[in-house]
Each structure stands twice: as structure tokens, then as C-alpha cells.
Structure 1
């Protein structure tokens, strides 16, 4: 494989996996396990022929491309070390990209140069209801073909370990587990220190979740809630929990693109209320400004499926921003709302980053909408360009965000997955040798370019 100087595209993922299978035909297989809404094949690369099944899901979020490169890196490392497959009686099943359609929509920044401005101006992430890991209406009512393909794969493999590969655009690395893996926080800390990756000690989306150790959090069981809670807390049924019935341990592994040192500052802040007031006021002002820009341009946009696809996440973000701003504001008490837990400096840093992230994603999607329309008839593009530049400068200069090379992101994420594999394997039951799911009912198919 070529050095990982950049993220691979959807086509490159498939081509590199096919080349790997050609080099290792006895130990590696590639098969189609479904198709996306646009008709792109979902490819599963499997390494080893053991009875214990591990499932790695790359690319569940369209703007988080590190997972595909990590999947290829894991395949290479496992093939190079028989202890990881033959010696462990294990098969590694690597789903190369769960949302290939979304990844294609990020190709405007995917190949670099990697700057914050380029990333957010070319950013795409679908609306909440089009993200394939979520099951807002339960598994039996899953609509997206990508979701159904993953659910079928989970039911077929019954993996002892599932790793969902995610990326943090600005912040630090952390992991979320459905089951405790004793020793995992220490392993993650060691990997992060060796590679110079900041650990995120207070992610805003785990604010109310149990902590299993520094930068490691316990995913609570899913619960019914409104869309705002689902977007901000992953508080719905998901493919993370679907294989729980098989005793599967799910690990969500987050690797950062731009690292921020402050997210691992676990000290007690001098005046958290003042920081919270600033963060909530800033988010409130930014969201109102963006809502006004959207109102100016919405009726000028063409009535197309592409417009709807880009507007869905804009509407999602603008929906949740006011509620988040109120939840962070120490001067606002909302009936029935949960009080904030004790906050460290790391928590405050990630809240500031999260608020800015929501504003920048919204501005970036609006920029794509206006740039792709028939001229900027509402005249909002100069203001959007100014806002994106100012807010990216704040990330770089105010938060100290620094780019982490792709190869280092991938090495970090792959090592964390291997650590989870080692620890989960200790407690994994051995299924009957005759089962070997996936290699009778569905044969491998030839690879081709989409």
C-alpha cells in the first residue's frame, strides 16, 4: 500500500482491498454485502478463517474518512501477524465504508490540502435520519439500505467484538463502549501518548454518560426521546446495541483530525460559569445569524433532491442550537432539564469547540447550497465566507487546533482497535467450528469499479 499521506476515496478503498486479496488469496476475501441508496456496493474485506468473528465498521459518518484507511491498515497488520487470526481462532470482517454516497460528497476536501477552511466549505454530513447507524424507529423498521445491510451482517456474524470507526474533526481521541473492558483506558492512554494524540477527557456528547476511565465512556442503553436529544446524545436505538443480544462488545473509536491540547486538561476551572455564559451566548448569536442567512436564501434555492439533501442537516443543526445554548447557560433553568455535571477545563474546552462546530458545519453547508445554486441571488456568499474564515481562525488561534497527519490518525485508531480486540478476546466464547458465518450462503464476488 502507498504511504498514507491522504484519505482514500470510495473507489480507492475498493481497489486497494481487491489488490490485497490478490496478494493474499488464501487468507483474505472480498464480498458485496449490500448497496447504497445510489447503488454503490458495500464491500466487506475478511481476513482469517477463525470461528470467532470481529466486525469493524468504517465510514458510518460521511465526513469522518479515517476509518476506511484504518480498515485497510488493520487488514495489513492482521495478515502480517498470524497470532491475530489463526492464533486467535478469529476472522476479521472489515466493512470498508458504510456510507459511500456521503463520502463521495466530501471529495472536495478529502485529498487535501488539509485546512479548516477547505474542510468546512466542502463539508457534507447527511441529516440525522439519513445516518445509517441510527435506528430511530427500531431495527424492524430500518429504511436505509445501508442500515439493513449492516443489521443483516451483525445477525449473520454474531461478532464477539464490533468496532465503529469515527473521527473528531477538532478535539481529541476517545472511545465509547457498550461493555467495560478492564485495562482498556490504560492501553488507550499509552497509545495516545506514544503518538502525540490528545485524549478528549470531556466530550460534550458523553456529558451525562458513565466514565470507565480517562477518555473512555460507557454507552448507556438506548431510550426514546426527541430528535434534539438523539442528535446531541445518540440517545436512540442504534446498530451499536443491535448485536447486544449476542454478547457483542461494541467499541466506538474516535480519532481526531485537528488536535487541541486543552481537551485533555482535567483541572478544575477557576470560573466555569463565565465560560459557560460565553459559550452559550456565542452559540445563540451564531445560530440566529445563520438562521437569518438561511431565511434570506431558502426561497432562491432550486427545488431539487440535492437541495433537500443539504438542507436536512442545516435544519437539524439549527433545531438543536437554541436548546444546547440554554442547557449550557448557568443563568437559565429549564423545567425537567438535567443539570450539568461537575465540569473540568477539558469539558469547557470541548463545549466551546462543539458550539463552534455546529456553527461552522451549518455555514459550510449553506456555502455549498449557495455555491451550487444558480448564482447567489440572495447575496449571502460574502458573509458566509467571512464567517467561515473568522470561525476557522478561532479554532486555529483561539483553541490551538493543529492538523494531525493522516498516517498518525490511522496508526492511532488501528492500535486502539487492536487493543480492544485483545481485551475482548479474553472473554469471547468459542462458537462451534462448523458455523463459520459468511462463507457458505454468500460467495465472494469479483471486484469492479463503481
Structure 2
């Protein structure tokens, strides 16, 4: 499949209104399977922690295998539409799909339990304040993407979740040539992770968002140790890179690194792995390379101080509330993981600021990225802590002091909401799905091409969890 075809198909993604709820998503896939019983094979691959069946949908009979998994982070539903659009296209345009010579294994969402806790904002995803107020992201040790077995240096992790086990089995059963874990970000531009440096793929990864009118994210990278293969395309260098970076800063890696990723697990099969990270909102500063009048080191310190201050406010509320909390909600579990993490991120940023050249000037994009990370994290994790306190008030178990504490946090949260970035614009969902769909096709085209004679074994891994 040539680049022109990829761009055409990416541009043909239909309009979408909001994101599908879990039951709706499953019903749409069930309808596809019922309409094409001879072309869709549904296989149960596992069971969620709350007892929901997890299914993979096999479409096609090509000589290459591709695994496409949505909902690996349940607050990232762009992949729900991407998975559904991919499955629909495979069934409606079999001649073009056959040029990829691929058997597709598509999982609509691997964490339906977590995704249901985000459904309150799925119908209206364009308002960032509304989104954050109803946000849920599991604690790192409860994230499917980050609970694969991991052992490196002082880090050891084997608390594999049932959903992760299902994901592992699917990878090992199919030994895929291609694995796409469907993620997305929040604000800014498009960026990618790729397990191999592939100029032909990267060229198309750049071309797709350009053709659809989205900028590449050229500001502050998600992690400071990432190796850039090309603008906005980062290598999956594995947990070793994160580990060595933290050791170099004098920070205990075991405090920040836990489980491994799906890409690391798939590396044993020589799988090409790709992640397309897409924002819900764009901002003109996100790709502005104009120098500012602030040094990069000072920007890091200033942002670290702001993040630490927000974290301290949330930690004070959490500490005061903890003796009065009686309901072990997922929101509370996540709050107890993420709120202390804010202070840890601030400490890391201060440590790396001390190693930055004093004459390096921050760009507008870097400044926006650092400042927006503070806004993002305090809205995300302040919202989740509020949901934990509200679970007690809704159940009638909140004492008078706990209700007052909830009101105090709500007042602070309202001030953070008022400080939301001006100038942010929601991106049409069809554009976001088009970029992700185009990126999948670009990688599948490479895998099925004659130039990919063998699959190297790479120790690859994304790093993260926040």
C-alpha cells in the first residue's frame, strides 16, 4: 500500500460524535461479527477483574499477523473508534485490505472496567474542564499497559493483572509481526513511538497528520530520556534507558519503574511495535519553536515548583481525609498512587534542571508543554481525589469533617479549572481517528512489504504510567 493510498483512506474516516460507551462499542463489534460470520472469528481471550469477558476479533487470512488493542489506558478512547473503523474497513473494502496480506486480531478495549469509569465525559469530550472532572486513570500497578512482567536491576514486577494476562496470551498465541497499542494524549500535537528506525514508515507517520491538518508535537517530550528517531517520533528503547537515566540523576529507579509494557513483551517475537499519541485539543503554542526569554533550566525549576505546590495541596487533603474514608474505590487507589507521584516528578525535574546548560533557551513549545503538564496533572488527579471523596458523600458515609474537606478541595479545584489554558481548540474526532488509522496502515504496509525479510529481536518498551 503506497503513501497516497494511506492518506486517502485516512481522510475518508467518517464524522464521529463523542466516544462510544463500552456496551455500545461491544454491540457494534458484535453486529459486525453477526453480519459477517464467515469472515469474523470472535475468540474469548480472558476475563476482566470485574468479570467481563474479553474478546479478540480475527479478520482476514493474510500471512502476517497484526494485534490491535484498544483501551490499554481507559481514559484514552480515540482507539475505540480506530479499532471499530479498522474492522469495518477490512470487511467493507476487502480488495484493498488484501494488499496488506495480514490477519488482524482486534481487541476493542482490554480494560472495560476502567473505561466505564470515564464514560461520564465520553458524550461530551470537547470541554477539558468537564473531561478532567470526570476523569479516571488507574494507578500504575493497575494499568494493563504497565503490568507486564519486568526484571531489571533493582526493579522486579510480577503482579500481572487478569487483563494483562489475556493480552500476553494473545501476543504469544499470534506471534504478531505488528503490535499497535492504541493510546492518546491530551493537548498539543501528534507524536509517535516506534520500535525500529524505519524511514519509510516515519515518512508516512509525518505525512498523515500534515495531510489532515494536525501539527507534530515538537515541544517537551513525554519523558526526558527519550531518543528521537525523527521529529515527534521516539524510539522504544526499553526500561533500561529509563533506569540508567534515573540512576544518573541519583534517583532510585524502583520508585518510578514497575511493570513492563506490551511492546517489551512482544519483543521476544521480533514484533514491530507502534504507538500513535494524539491530542484532544490543539494549541498554537504546542509546536512554536520561537525562543523565549527564559532558560530551559529555569523553566524546569519553575514548573517543578508549581507541580510540587499542587501536589502538596492534594496530599494534605488526602492525608487529612484518609482516616475518615471507608470505601475502597478505584479513585482512592489511584489518588494514593498519583498524588505522591507529583512530588517525585518535581524532584526529578529539579535534578535534571541542574544538569542543563545555563545558556540553553526554552522554546515557546517547551514552555507550553511544561506549564500545561502542571495544569493537566492537577486537573486529572484533583478530579479523581474529588471523586473518591464524593463516593463517601453519595453513599451517606461521609462525616461532617469529611464533607467540609470535600468542599475545600472543590473550591481549590474550581480555581485550577479557571486557570485552564486559553486558546485551546478541540480537534474533530474523525481527524484523530484518521491519524491513528493511517499510522496503523503505514506500519502494516511496511510489515507486509518485500523489504522486511526478517524480524529482529529487540528489547523494546515504552516507559510511563502517569
TM-score by length of 1: 0.85
Q: 1:250 to 1:2 in 2, by over 3 A?
A: closer
- Judged with a 3 Å threshold, the aligned counterparts in structure 2 of structure 1 residues 242 and 113 are, in CA distance, closer, same or farther, namely closer
Report the CA distance shift for 1:175/1:113 in structure 2 as closer, same or farther (over 3 A): closer
**Hey, what's the Cα distance between the residues in 2 that align with 1:394 and 1:79?**
46
1:388-443 Cα distance to aligned partner (Å, 9 max, x none): 3333343332xx32222322222221122212222233244599xxxxxxxxxxxx
Q: Match for residue 28 of structure 2?
A: 16
Q: How does 1:280-359 map to 2 (within 5 A)?
A: 280-302=304-326, 304-306=327-329, 309-329=330-350, 333=354, 344-359=363-378
CA distance in 1: counterparts of 2:131 and 2:252, whole angstroms: 25
- Determine if contact 1:181/1:424 at 8 Å carries over to the other structure: no
In structure 2, what is the Cα distance between the partners aligned to 1:230 and 1:44?
34
How far, CA to CA, are the matches of 1:94 and 1:420 in structure 2?
15
CA distance in 1, matches of 2:224, 2:95: 38
For residues 148 and 198 of structure 1, the distance between their equivalents in structure 2, rounded to whole angstroms, comes to 36
Q: What is the CA–CA distance in structure 2 between the aligned matches of 1:203 and 1:235, rounded to whole Å?
A: 24
Pick closer, same or farther for the CA change 1:404–1:86 going to 2, 3 Å.
Answer: same
Instruction: Say which SS state the counterpart of residue 56 (structure 1) adopts.
Output: strand
| Alignment check: 8 A CA contact 1:222 1:236 kept | no
The answer as to 2:89 corresponding to 1:59 is no
Q: Which secondary structure does the structure 1 equivalent of 2:226 belong to?
A: coil
Could you list the structure 1 runs, at least 4 aligned residues long, displaced by more than 6 angstroms after superposition.
none
Structure 2 gap ranges (5+): 1-12, 152-156, 456-466
Instruction: State the SS of the aligned residue for 2:145.
Output: coil
1:279 aligns with 2:303: yes
- 1: CA distance, partners of 2:254 / 2:440: 26
Partner of 1:207: 224
The answer to whether the Cα contact below 8 Å between 2:62 and 2:103 also exists between their aligned partners in 1 is yes
Contact residue 133 and residue 239 of structure 1 kept, 8 A: yes
| TM-score, normalised with respect to structure 2 | 0.82
For residues 344-398 of structure 1, what are the alpha-carbon distances to aligned partners after superposition, in whole Å with 9 as ceiling and x for unaligned?
432332222222222222210111011111346331333333333333343332x
Judged with a 3 Å threshold, the aligned counterparts in structure 2 of structure 1 residues 43 and 54 are, in CA distance, closer, same or farther, namely same
Deviates more, 1:3-12 or 1:64-73: 3-12
Deviations along 1:180-212, one digit per CA (max 9) or x if unpaired, are 221333322322123232322245423211111
The 1:203–1:413 alpha-carbon spacing in structure 2 relative to 1, beyond 3 Å, is: farther
Q: Following TM superposition, by how much is the alpha carbon of 1:235 offset from its aligned partner in structure 2, in angstroms?
A: 7.6
Residue of structure 1 in register with 2:260 after alignment: 237
Q: How many residues align?
A: 421
Match of 1:151 among 165, 168, 171: 168
Q: Residues 255-279 of structure 1, C-alpha deviation per residue, up to 9 Å, x if partnerless?
A: 1112223222234433134433321
- Is residue 2:65 matched to residue 1:48? no
Q: Residues of 2 paired with 1:428 and 1:256: CA distance?
A: 31
Instruction: Tell me, yes or no, if the aligned pair for 2:158 and 2:259 is still in contact at 8 Å.
Output: no
Partners of 1:89 and 1:331 lie apart in 2 by 46
Aligned to 1:165: 182
Looking at structure 2, the residues matched to 228 and 149 of structure 1 have their Cα atoms a distance apart, in angstroms, of 31
Structure 1 pair 194–229 and aligned structure 2 pair: CA distance change class (3 A): farther
Is 1:115 aligned with 2:99?
A: no
- 1-structure distance, mates of 2:92, 2:160: 39
Deviates more, 1:192-201 or 1:384-393: 384-393
> Residues 171 and 353 of structure 1 are in contact (CA less than 8 Å); yes or no, is this contact kept in structure 2?
no
> What is the alpha-carbon distance in structure 2 between the residues aligned to residue 329 and residue 181 of structure 1?
34
Secondary structure in 1 matching 2:276:
strand
Paired with 1:384 and 1:170, the residues of 2 have a C-alpha distance of 25
For the 8 Å contact 2:188–2:283, the answer to whether it is kept is: yes
Compared with structure 1, are the counterparts of its residues 84 and 388 closer, same or farther at alpha carbon in structure 2 (3 Å cutoff)? farther
Q: Could you tell which deviates more after superposition, 408-417 or 381-390?
A: 381-390
Q: Is the 8 A contact 1:21 1:28 kept in 2?
A: yes
1:131 to 112, 120, 143: 143
TM-aligned CA distance change 1:188 to 1:386, over 3 Å = farther
Distance 1:228 1:121 in 2: 33
Contact 1:47/1:75, CA 8 A, preserved across alignment: yes
- Which of 185, 201, 207 is the matching residue for 1:184? 201
Q: Single out whichever of 256-265 and 363-372 deviates more from structure 2.
A: 256-265
Q: Which moved more, 1:141-150 or 1:83-92?
A: 83-92
1:422 aligns with 2:436: no
The CA distance in 1 between the partners of 2:211 and 2:381, in whole Å, is 35
Can you give the 5+ residue segments of structure 1 that lack an aligned partner in the other structure?
Answer: 432-450
Alignment of 1:25-40 (within 5 A): 25-40=37-52
Counterpart check, 1:262 vs 2:285: yes
CA distance in 2, matches of 1:222, 1:214: 22
Shift of 1:88: 2.7
When structure 1 is superposed on structure 2, of 323-332 and 116-125 the one drifting more is: 323-332
**After alignment, is 375-384 or 401-410 more displaced?**
375-384
- How far has the Cα of 1:152 moved from its partner? 0.7
Look up the match of 1:389: 414
